[in-house]
Amino acid sequence: MTELLVTGSNYIVKNASITATLVGLGIVSGLILDALILSAFGVGSQTDAFFTALTVPLLISSVFAIQGPKVLIPVFSEYFRHDDNAAAWDLLRNLLTTALCALVGICLLGVTLSAVIVPPQIPGLESKTIAAAVWLSRIIFALVICQGLAAILQSVLYAQHRYLVSSSGKLVSNILTIIVVILCHGRFGIQAVAAGMLFGNFVHVMVLALALSRHNFRYHWVLKPSDPKLREIFRSFRYPLAGHVLGESAMILQNILGSFLGSGNLTVMRYASRIVQAIAGILLGSVVRVTLPLMAKHAAANDLRAQRRTFLESIRLLTIVGLPVCVWLILAAEPLVVLLFERGEFSRADAVLTGLLIQFMAADILLGRLVSITQTLFYANMDMRTPLISTVIFTVSHTVLAIVLVGLLGVLGLPIAVCLASFTTAIYMIVKLQSRFGPVGWREMRDFPFRLAATCAVAGGGFAVGAKLVTLITVSYSVAKVLGVAMPTAVGMCLFIAGAFSFRLIDRRLLLPMWRRVS
């Protein structure tokens, strides 16, 4: 494979932009799907059953989607660095076949045990809702097969530094799900959403396979479970697997605690989480996603200096994007939810509560991604144990905090517990990073945090001015909902850009090459 010419921040910014655009389109389509679901079914027993049914299948699927690249990207990066594509394709064929057999077994086991898995998650809901959740769970478990295979194919594309097709999965699957829901929800009810998700994810796998075929990969059945490299991958996967199950158990804990807080609270909390994670995934998640392949490339070359430099560049970009996003989300939470979801059975009171939960959860956008960026150094060097310990710390602290805070604050205790647990985990990872890789060069950032804080303060003031201007305009309620988000955001964004130049957060010299290319 032709050697990639990558220069640190240019590589990260360019590919993070591609990833963010495609993931962003996927998130927008997901929000449209969410609005369609809420408009058609409202907030109640049907949606509680649906989201409960999604919990365990998505927990299993997300193990492959999130943790798979952390193991597979360093492995395939090593092959591609030595231009050994033939060996890489042999390993991929064996991996896909073995994974398919395992995923089918997991799917069948999940279908069989749904009646045992689902009821303990929602002990406080009615028996009719529990029965509906069990039936939906049996349908949705097939997602494990599609998303597991997709994660493997995406990892190989990332290792080749191919981000276009590998980042478009949500967009493809959501569009097809929307079509199925529109056409079938009147006849099949909430089951149409489950069927649409299965169809969309199947097409996604086909698209990824087609993309790899254009790079000379041809699949045929190869089953060699005793292959040493395959066994090494499975052994490496132990720690991410255990860590992910622990980390995602937070969702199950939310189901259990939320089921005792009254009907609809579980759905509201889930939608608040989805909005926060969607926004984090568009911008900050893209930085994390493109950092790991670059970090793995440097680790394969045993270039510790380049790894440290990449880490600092990623942290700088992460905070430049993440802090203003957190400020914006805190200020825009309620009008954003009103704009997206206040229609049909979703009331203004539901929107207010959802917005409040988002505000308390906003800090996790930056803290969670800070932990993820720190973990890339360990994954790139095939150290899977340290990230597992950090996940254990998160899980224990979150469990204790959630139980205590829900008892004191009700549903507001859930997002506060998440943020505090992420803060604790971030501290641990930074300490471990310093002890394992030595000084990473924090002094190079010097006054950067102060300049960033000043820029965000200016942007926050701009948002407040924009929100005040909206109240002075007399328009219809539908237009007012749009202006309530658009005008403050536009004013805040303009002042953020102006502040970024005024406080030298952005170096004007970096824009000169871009300007010359355009002109």
pTM for the model stands at 0.74
The span from the CA of 351 to the CA of 333, in Å, is 9
Supply the pLDDT for residue 344: 64
Q: Which residues contact 200 (CB under 8 A, 6 or more apart)?
A: 172, 173, 174, 175, 176, 177, 180
Supply the pLDDT for residue 518: 41
The span from the CA of 379 to the CA of 237, in Å, is 11
Helix spans in 42-67 (H): 45-62
The span from the CA of 19 to the CA of 30, in Å, is 16
DSSP string, 500-519: HHHTTSS-GGGHHHHHHHH-
Supply the pLDDT for residue 510: 52
Written as one letter, the residue type at 416 is I
Supply the pLDDT for residue 1: 37
Q: Which residues contact 295 (CB under 8 A, 6 or more apart)?
A: 307, 310, 311, 376, 377, 379, 380
The secondary structure element, H or E, covering residue 223 is none
Per residue of the chain (519 residues), give pLDDT as tens. 333 334 445 777 788 888 888 887 887 888 788 888 877 777 677 777 888 888 888 878 877 888 888 889 988 888 888 778 888 899 999 999 999 999 999 999 988 988 888 888 777 777 788 888 888 888 899 999 999 999 999 999 998 888 888 888 888 899 999 999 888 877 887 888 888 999 999 999 999 999 898 878 888 898 888 888 889 888 888 888 787 777 667 767 777 777 677 667 777 887 888 788 777 767 777 888 888 888 888 888 888 888 888 888 888 888 888 888 888 888 888 888 888 777 666 677 878 888 888 889 888 888 988 998 999 899 888 888 898 899 889 988 888 898 888 888 888 888 899 899 999 999 999 999 988 888 877 877 778 888 888 988 999 888 888 888 888 887 787 788 888 888 888 998 898 888 888 887 776 655 545 445 444
Supply the pLDDT for residue 123: 75
Composition of the chain by helix, strand, coil, percent to 5 = 85, 0, 15
The span from the CA of 120 to the CA of 344, in Å, is 31
The span from the CA of 437 to the CA of 458, in Å, is 36
Supply the pLDDT for residue 432: 92
Supply the pLDDT for residue 9: 58
